[in-house]
Amino acid sequence: MTNLADLEAANAALIAAAPDTATLDEARVQILGKVGNVSLLLKTLGAMSPEERREQGPAINGLRERMAEQIAARKAALEAAELDAELAGVHVDLTLPAPPRRRGSVHPTMQTMDEMIAIFADMGFSLAEGPDIETDFNNFTALNFPPKHPAREMHDTFFLPEDANGERKVLRTHTSPVQVRVMNRTNEKLPNWIAQGQEPPIRVIVPGRTFRKDSDQTHTPMFHQIEGLVIDRNIHMGHLKWTLETFIARFFETPEVVTRFRPHHFPFTEPSAEIDVRCDRSGGEVRIGQGDDWLEILGCGMVHPNVLRNCGLDPDEWQGFAFGCGVDRLGMLKYGMPDLRDMFASDVRWLQHYGFSPFAMPDPATGLS
Ligand code: DAH
């Protein structure tokens, strides 16, 4: 029979000498494994006489417990040392710059739209919206486009296939149909973001997407417009002129803008005009407020009596003016982009170059961008 004290001393030395957790595990197998020296001793208990077992049992079990405790303690110490060693080799350099984060930017069209909305909101206009898919009535008929009139073709309209009621809807060719929605009360149950049937006086601006079959340097099949509508008593061309001249001066952020009203024709306004701004086109770039060229920027006019009638308003009681302009085109002009198609090409380098910080929220009181 092995001397228990000698075995304990030898095992304790083995445990204490283990330099790492792997060697310690080997020691554990030698001592407490299936055929470990203490496990084998425990097995001898079965063959002993009861008296012997009474004496040896507690001694051998005590030995097993102490060995297990020593192994656990050594294991904890080795693990702590190993972790310390690992951490000592790791350097965190807090002076290193953080890895670059991908940052998005506000699209120039949205920035321009926000600027325009901010200016008109400051003048007391509220916002109205309508759907991209419009009825022929709202897009054309109510706006005084005669049926089958070639003017409908003038807009290079995208027509949708006939629906079950035989109705052919359109992708709206302009934001003007929202004028109709704002004035006209229908019994349709519409989502509440869609404007409907306001009582005059009305002062709204309508930003939105518009669609025409057209694509070149200054036209894209989808583009954005902002429409304006003012309906009140005794509204005249002077109100229209002041409103738009004030808007243009604030938008271009220069008092030097010179504008010109040029007679034009729109079916939904009478009289109608286009506004040009004086610019310089020499050197392939357009500069506002200089030179002796003119650039058309928006359409406007006094709301046609037929449009008021089509929307249930009495033209003898109510008058109004309206205007509409291309948002992307105004953005191009203000921020010097040469090609409208780039606006919708989703080229990340372009977006990074021309995009705006989300913190550059336009505020007419403190500057627009
Ligand atoms: N809807 C016109 C277009 O897309 C723009 C326009 C002109 C809107 C005159 C108006 C307006 O409200 O009065 O070309």
How confident is the model over 150-160, as pLDDT tens digits? 767 766 899 99
Give the pLDDT confidence score for residue 1 in this predicted structure: 47
Atom of ligand 1 at shortest range from CA of 175: 1
* Summary mean pLDDT of the chain: 91
Which pair of tokens denotes residue 272? Answer: 């109608």
Secondary structure letter of residue 315 according to DSSP:
T
Q: Give the angle 326-332-334 at the CA atoms, nearest 5°.
A: 100
Of 307, 273, 330, which Cα lies nearest the Cα of 177? Answer: 307
Instruction: State which amino acid sits at residue 227.
Output: E
Q: Is the CB of 267 within 6 Å of ligand 1?
A: no
Provide, rounded to the nearest whole percent, the portion of the chain with pLDDT above 90: 65
How remote is the CA of residue 175 from the centroid of ligand 1, in Å?
8
Atom of ligand 1 nearest to the CA of 299: 7
**Ligand 1 in reach of 230 Cβ (< 6 A):** no
187 or 369, greater pLDDT: 187
SS3 content of the chain, % helix, strand, coil (to 5): 40, 20, 40
pLDDT number for residue 98: 87
Q: What percent of the chain has pLDDT over 70?
A: 97
Q: How far apart are CA 287 and CA 334, in angstroms?
A: 9
Task: Indicate the fold that domain 108-354 takes in CATH.
Answer: BirA Bifunctional Protein; domain 2 (3.30.930)
* Local confidence band at 80 (pLDDT 50, 70, 90 cut-offs): very high
pLDDT in tens, 85-95: 989 888 888 89
Alpha-carbon span 26 to 250, nearest angstrom: 83
Per DSSP, the residues of 115-182 read HHHHHHHHTT-EE----SEE-HHHHTGGGTPPTT-THHHHTT--BPPP-TTS---EE-SSSTHHHHHH
How many angstroms is it from 178 CA to the middle of ligand 1? 11
For residue 273, the surrounding DSSP H or E stretch is: strand 269-280
Contact 31, 41 (CB under 8 A): no
Q: Would you kindly state where each structural domain of the chain is located, as residue ranges? A: 4-88, 108-354
* Both tokens assigned to 314: 């009495």
**Beta carbons within 8 Å of 360's beta carbon, 6+ residues apart:** 106, 111, 369
Q: What is the pLDDT of residues 172-226, one digit of tens each?
A: 999 999 999 999 988 888 999 999 999 999 999 999 999 998 888 778 899 999 9
Query: pLDDT value at position 369?
Result: 53
- Among protein residues, the one whose CA lies closest to atom 5 of ligand 1: 324
Q: Please compute Rg for the chain using Cα positions.
A: 41
Structure confidence by residue, pLDDT tens digits, 220-265: 899 999 999 999 999 999 999 999 999 999 999 877 789 999 999 9
For residues 104 and 322, give the distance between their C-alpha atoms in angstroms, rounded to a whole number.
35
Q: Is the CB of 211 under 6 A from ligand 1?
A: no
Q: Which class for 269: exposed (0-12), middle (13-18), buried (19 or more C-beta within 10 A)?
A: buried
pLDDT tens profile 271-287: 999 999 998 878 777 78
Handedness of CA 267, 271, 277, 283 (dihedral sign): positive
* Cβ–ligand 1 contact at 300 (below 6 Å): yes
Joined together, the tokens standing for residue 138 give 């709202």
Give me the sign of the Cα torsion angle 7, 9, 14, 18. positive
d(CA 15, CA 36): 13
> Which pairing describes strands 269-280 and 287-288: parallel, antiparallel, or unpaired?
antiparallel
Q: How is 15-72 classified by DSSP, letter by letter? A: HHH--SHHHHHHHHHHHHSTT-HHHHHHHHGGGS-HHHHHHHHHHHHHHHHHHHHHHH
Q: Is the CB of 174 under 6 A from ligand 1?
A: yes
Angle between helices 237-252 and 108-122 in degrees, nearest 10: 130
From 247, 266, 306, 328, the mutation candidate for ligand 1 (largest count of ligand atoms within 8 A of CB) is: 266
pLDDT of the residue at 242: 96
Model pLDDT, residue 102: 79
